[in-house]
Chains A and B, each alone.
Chain A
Amino acid sequence: MIRVAGIRKTYGRTVAVDDVSFDVYAGEIFGLIGPNGAGKTTTMECVEGLRAPDAGTISVLGLNPRRDVYQLQDRIGVQLQEAQLQKRIKVREAVDLWASLYRKPVEPGRLIEQLGLLDKRDAWFMTLSGGQKQRLFIALALINDPELVFLDELTTGLDPQARRAIWELVRGIRHRGKTVFLTTHLMEEAERLCDRVAILDHGRIVDVGTPSELVRRHCPERTVIVGTGEPSAAERFRAIPHVLSVAEDGTSIVIAGAGDDLVTRVIQAVATHGIAVTSFRTEAPTLEDVFLKLTGHAIRD
């Protein structure tokens, strides 16, 4: 669907995007993740044809986004970061306007209904909540029944409930056979929504893969926290293969180790030695940990 090869974009002396390459496949939700200022929006706007990269090549649906921009715009849907509409435009008017601009628009009324904006269709843009505005922008991105949808920082500034509702909508877009390319600085969003992600930091791609692949590759450690008062328990846990460390504080024991079967082995040890356990919980590393490990800084810096 998208092939990006070695693109570079500088603003004055600042290098915004540096030798970035990745592919987006049909039918997946692909996420470009990284902190604010990492170059996510610049990269995405180059792919959309809104910006020209200084170097490198981009192919979207087999088209060149700069040269074939009008052809491409008919086949893609775009939601831009922090975009606004006219303060006093009505929801219905905006969707109708967009519908009039494309060759084969979907039925505006049905789209408004699908995105849950039916009772807001005569409301002015300025009176909508953040979540409603984003749903309207998703509607505008879907009006031409695009093959490929771009979503830039879709849920930034929304409350958790609105965010979850938007995630459902995005999954619905994929379900209808479309490809989604999104950017986010929320690792939870990437983890829950994306089939594959590319981690971007300071304008460079650090790694690409499915969220679980990346976690396994870079943060294979698992942690099991067992609540127990038995003094001999720590010794038993230390004997488990691949255990890296065991720490005890009197009421619970924290066991860290590598591999997916760590949890199984701990449970086996508990059963074999008849250790009395009051609580049991596991902690798996997340994309957030992967990011920290790969870049040496937290994403919110």
Chain B
Amino acid sequence: MLRGLLTLTWLEIKIFVREPLGVFGTVAVPVLIFVLFGRLFGPRMRGSVPVPRFVSADLPIFASILIVLGAVMSVVTVVAIYREGGILKRLRATPLRPYTILLAHVAVKLGFVLLTLGLMVLAGRRYYPIGADVPWLSFTLALLFTTICLISLGFVLASLVPTARFAQPLGTLVFYPMLGLCGLFVPIAALPSPLQMAAKLLPLTYCVSLLRGIWQGEGWFAHLGDVGALLLVLVGASALSVRLFRWE
């Protein structure tokens, strides 16, 4: 069924690109914001403007997480729209295996996450030249892994939303509050202890920890705990979606 997956993925990419606003929001907006941040707080301006810590140290992580969350929300919305329109049902009444239909969307989103990040790296070269010591391959793998884990959570949401209209708001409600506690803005150790507990229950915390660690060259072994926690999320969420997912 690999051929079906490839055909469908390629088709979904073409269909996605035909909606100019969607492409603009997914690819161009993050890159533009990044460039804007670069102009405001870039290394050459340093000293004249007080730079928030997350900008100086965590910008790559922050940017990655935002892009990944965008992709996850977009999966939730697309699946809800396809279900409401009967598209999922129509595709399922073909020899396509059901998971192929969903995997095609995951593949499309992964592709656009990488594309956006690649463009960002190119556009940001002037402001944030990336050191030669950044482990690129590892970071890309970590990014794909985090995205897949969060998309599996997205599928649980997509199984639960009653209509496409609720998909976007519900996704926002679930994912964006995690940003506040995930350790990007405030170090987890600096949080009051109840919030520290809460942070440890949020998958995003492990995503940030893993991505940050890999970026800083700490290696996979130092972050086996994060990988384990995310694998748990992946397996749990996938099992839950298999039970809950509705095709119509």
How many residues on B have C-beta within 8 angstroms of the other chain's C-beta atoms?
A: 21
Contact B85 A84 (CB under 8 A): yes
Q: Within 8 Å CB of B86, what residues of A? A: 80, 82-84
Question: Nearest B residue to A88 by beta-carbon distance?
Answer: B18
Q: Is B223 an interface residue (CB 8 A)?
A: no
Given contacts A85-B87, A88-B18, contact A50 B11 (CB under 8 A): no
- Which listed residue, B3, B89, B92, touches A100 by the CB 8 Å rule? B3
Q: Is A98 an interface residue (CB 8 A)?
A: yes
Contact B15 A80 (CB under 8 A): no
Q: Is A86 an interface residue (CB 8 A)?
A: yes
Contact A73 B87 (CB under 8 A): no
Question: Nearest B residue to A72 by beta-carbon distance?
Answer: B95
Q: Within 8 Å CB of B93, what residues of A? A: 48, 50, 73, 78, 80
Docked pose: A134 CA to B1 CA in angstroms: 28
Q: Is B90 an interface residue (CB 8 A)?
A: yes
Question: Nearest A residue to B12 by beta-carbon distance?
Answer: A86
Contact A102 B95 (CB under 8 A): yes
Q: Within 8 Å CB of B14, what residues of A? A: 93
Question: Nearest B residue to A50 by beta-carbon distance?
Answer: B93
Contact A84 B94 (CB under 8 A): no
A131 to chain B, nearest CB (A): 18
Contact A88 B7 (CB under 8 A): no
Question: Nearest A residue to B82 by beta-carbon distance?
Answer: A86
Q: Is A101 an interface residue (CB 8 A)?
A: yes
Q: Within 8 Å CB of A48, what residues of B? A: 93
Q: Is A55 an interface residue (CB 8 A)?
A: no
Q: Within 8 Å CB of A89, what residues of B? A: 11, 15
Docked pose: A48 CA to B94 CA in angstroms: 11
Q: Is B19 an interface residue (CB 8 A)?
A: yes
Q: Within 8 Å CB of B90, what residues of A? A: 80, 83-85
Query: Which residues of A (75-110) have their CB < 8 Å from a CB of B?
Result: 78, 80, 82-89, 93, 97-98, 100-102
Q: Within 8 Å CB of A80, what residues of B? A: 86, 89-90, 93
Q: Is A70 an interface residue (CB 8 A)?
A: yes
Give chain A's interface residue range (CB within 8 Å of chain B).
Answer: 20 to 34
Question: Nearest A residue to B84 by beta-carbon distance?
Answer: A84
Query: Which residues of B (91-106) have their CB < 8 Å from a CB of A?
Result: 92-96
Q: Is A22 an interface residue (CB 8 A)?
A: no
Q: Is B8 an interface residue (CB 8 A)?
A: yes
- Which listed residue, A83, A86, A88, A98, touches B89 by the CB 8 Å rule? A83
Docked pose: A87 CA to B92 CA in angstroms: 18
| Max count, chain A CB within 10 A of own CB: residue among B12, B14, B95 | B95
Q: Is A124 an interface residue (CB 8 A)?
A: yes
Q: Within 8 Å CB of A88, what residues of B? A: 15, 18-19
B104 to chain A, nearest CB (A): 11
A130 to chain B, nearest CB (A): 15
Q: Is B4 an interface residue (CB 8 A)?
A: yes
A140 to chain B, nearest CB (A): 8
Contact A74 B11 (CB under 8 A): no
Contact B7 A86 (CB under 8 A): no
A71 to chain B, nearest CB (A): 9
Docked pose: A84 CA to B90 CA in angstroms: 8
Q: Within 8 Å CB of B11, what residues of A? A: 89, 93, 97
A234 to chain B, nearest CB (A): 58
Question: Nearest A residue to B17 by beta-carbon distance?
Answer: A88
| Max count, chain B CB within 10 A of own CB: residue among A80, A86, A87, A100 | A86
Given contacts A97-B7, A97-B11, A100-B3, contact A83 B87 (CB under 8 A): yes
Contact A86 B3 (CB under 8 A): no
Docked pose: A89 CA to B94 CA in angstroms: 17
Q: Within 8 Å CB of B19, what residues of A? A: 88
Query: Which residues of A (128-165) have their CB < 8 Å from a CB of B?
Result: none
Q: Within 8 Å CB of A85, what residues of B? A: 87, 90
B-contact bits for A46-74, CB 8 A (1 contact / 0 none) = 00101000000000000000000010011
Contact B92 A101 (CB under 8 A): no
Name 7 interchain pairs, CB-CB below 8 A, sorted by A: A50-B89, A74-B95, A83-B89, A85-B87, A89-B15, A100-B4, A101-B94
Mark A residues whose CB is within 8 Å of B.
Answer: 48, 50, 70, 73-74, 78, 80, 82-89, 93, 97-98, 100-102, 124
The 10 closest A-B pairs by CB, nearest first: A84-B85, A88-B18, A83-B90, A83-B86, A78-B93, A88-B15, A100-B7, A73-B95, A86-B15, A101-B94
